[in-house]
Amino acid sequence: MNTEQARERIRKLREEVERHRLLYHSHDAPEISDEAYDSLFHELLRLEETYPQFRSDTSPTTRVGGDPLDRFEKVRHASRQWSFDDIFDGDELRAWDERVRKWLLKAGVMTDPTYCCELKIDGLKVVLTYEDGDFVRGATRGDGEVGEDATRNLRTIQSIPLVLARPLSMTVIGEAWLPEAERARINREREAAGEPPFANVRNAAAGSIRQLDSKVTASRRLDSFAYDIDSIEGVPVPDTQIGELELLRDLGFNVNPNFRRCTTLAEVEEYYREWTDRRHDLPYALDGIVIKVDARNMQETLGYTAKAPRFAIAYKFPAEEATTVVEDIGIQVGRTGVLTPVAHLRPVRIAGTVVSRATLHNADEIARLGVRIGDTVIIRKAGDIIPEILGVVTNLRSGTEREFHMPDECPICGGAVARRAVDEKGGRSSVALYCANPKCFAVELEKIIHAVSRKGFDIDGLGEKIVEQLLNEGLISDMADIFDLTEGDLLPLERFGEKSVANLVAAIGNAKKIPFRRFVYSLGIRHVGEESAILIAEHLHELFPKRLAGLKDIAERFPSVTPERWAEIPGFGEKSGRSLANWFNDEANIRLLGKFVEFGVETVFPKADVLRKEGVFSGKSIVVTGTLSRFTRDEAKDIIRKNGGHPSGSVSAKTDFVLAGEDAGSKLSKAEELGVHVLSEDEFLGMIG
């Protein structure tokens, strides 16, 4: 190959590599495989090394990164880079729309505004400058007036074109972002190197772009979306925001395809609700939507405030993290007698609900967090996950904060509290404290609430307040007493009318016939939850070859089963086996079963109550963790059972799969540590067909 042939080959290779980059990143329509693309790219790289006189700053090969910088240079933006004002609910949306309409009316514009709705990508804002179609500078937003020159690093992002489809001089605004899967990969490498992990994708994107060594940036597989034209020469700016997005796409930029024109606020709200539900399905993080007046002439009429454009607003998704103040710490006594410290918070809206309490788990967790009464704390709540305190903002302490200490006695009954042995020899004690009084009011209250819940007896109308009222009035002392209640017992009580009493008594009567597995669950035996109850139901015929006829048989025959025999049930643990044996060998519990019999409660025993079918998960133990987007965790467990699997509550070396949703936390970490196969929702659904 002579010099002229090399020049021509390099030119054609650059055009072809750029064409395939555009097809892949901007049109989602690749024509060749990744391997074929890499082959073209490496041929170009070799030719440029052989013929260095033909190297160019706009060649695709410059994306691999150059020599490290000593520091970032500051760059002043040609025009100020604004940020959007935020709104958080429909009332604020309507108020903004009214302001827009009033301003337009005042300016003599009589037409109703149409809105362009776009997804608000949670990444790092970038300002991209082109001269005659060539990418010449990329900068971060900085303070809006001055940013940092990140040209070398932004060149490494494949979706940012180095040469435009037309030789235009323009400034484009976009968002650089990092896929969540890539953040997880980078964090594994950082933790292995003893470095702190990136807390979120925005943090990871910013950290990747602010690398002095652009080769590090290139290795991190950043992506981008362009969404605004700041300035352009040689062609008119489109009349609408949607026209702007279409021009950007035609020029070779990656434009998020999920924008929508909305003519009414109802359509805007529908778009917002749709992406609130779907946001976790995407490879990039969202923190809301952006609503812009679509017509450019209206945008120019509306202009800017001192801080933000009047013609656009960011409608933020319900926050999953927020800060608030710990106003007090109280103690909650559970059905097993465990004392759980609970933070009473200054109410704060998070994940769509107002949160005023968060569990602190135990004394060790309080010590780990270093939380005090009066502290400002960061809390997180994702979907239906219980709010948790992530950390303390110690810099905001005033000196008036107070340390909290676990009590020496039960705050409900005044009984002694102690740690429990967690092994048979008593060599190890629990982290948690327990009330030693088996008749503690709080313990009985929680036991009964558990028994009548949806997964137990499922008695409609028998909520926490009514159970507490019945206990206070002395009408019940345990869960069995519920089934001895009559209309005459209930009618004299405050807030009980004839209709509500009749409905409750009917609901209690209907609940007297209960499937065996739900009855076992309702007893609230420690370490025996819904899944354990199902396992017992499945293996009843092995434990008791002679068929059980009723609750009386349970009271007579279950005490003879040893802990070791219970633990032989596939999927059962030693703790569950010991707990079951202890419960059925306690005289008070046998008397409780007798009361159930006396008050007419019947259990429906399985021929095979919920016997698992053969399926793709046959014999497999699967842990479900995190927030799932396509179904609830209970629904996922039902799917696992229907396909032959065993949903487990904890990760161990015996776990076959972990189905992980958003905010999976410690169970996901344990799975990765043990090398357990982690399934995404897509993989899970693919396995079951």
Is the separation of the CB atoms in 178 and 201 below 8 Å?
Answer: yes
Nearest to 419 by CA among 407, 408, 400, 434: 434
The bridge status of strand 621-625 relative to strand 646-648 is parallel
Q: Are residues 169 and 157 in contact, defined by beta-carbon separation less than 8 angstroms?
A: no
For the chain, what is the total number of helices (H) and then of strands (E)? 25, 24
The Cα–Cα gap between 605 and 203 comes to 55
3-state secondary structure 275-309: HHHHHHHCCCCEEEEEEEECEHHHHHHHCECCCCE
Q: Which residues are catalytic?
A: 120
Chain centre distance of CA 162: 36
Strand partners, 662: 627
CA-angle at 497, arms to 496 and 498, nearest 5°: 130
CB-count exposure of residue 537 (10 Å: 0-12, 13-18, 19+): buried
Q: Is 528 helix (H, G, I), strand (E, B) or coil?
A: coil
Angle at 312 between CA 310 and CA 313, to 5 degrees: 105
For helices 587-598 and 574-584, what crossing angle results, to 10°? 70
H or E stretch covering 74: strand 74-76
Yes or no: say if 333 and 443 are a contact pair by the CB < 8 Å rule: yes
Assess contact for 343 and 326: CB atoms under 8 A.
Answer: yes
Helix (H, G, I), strand (E, B) or coil at 404: coil
Name which of 511, 492, 491, 512 is nearest 501 in CA terms: 491
609 vs 535: CA distance, rounded Å: 10
- The Cα 128–Cα 172 span in angstroms is 5
For tokens 């807390």, what's the residue? 199
Structure tokens at 371: 């939380």
Dmax over CA atoms of the chain, in Å, equals 106
Give backbone dihedrals phi and psi of 304, rounded to 5 degrees, phi first: -130, 150
Angle between helices 3-25 and 34-50 (to 10 degrees): 150
Q: Which of 412, 452, 449 is nearest to 434 (CA)?
A: 412
C-alpha Rg value of the chain to the nearest Å: 32
Q: Would you call 447 helix, strand, or coil by DSSP?
A: helix
| Three-class secondary structure assignment of 496-515 | CCHHHHHHHHHHHHHCCEEE
* Residues 573, 651 contacting (CB under 8 angstroms): no
- 174 token code pair: 């976009």
Work out whether strand 312-316 and strand 353-359 pair parallel, antiparallel, or are unpaired: unpaired
C-alpha 270/C-alpha 288 separation (Å) is 13
Report the C-alpha gap between 620 and 366 in whole angstroms.
37
User: Residue 86 and residue 314: Cα distance in Å, rounded?
Assistant: 5
Query: Residue 547: CB partners within 8 Å, gap ≥ 6?
Result: 541, 605
In DSSP terms, which residues pair with 228 in a beta bridge?
Answer: 173
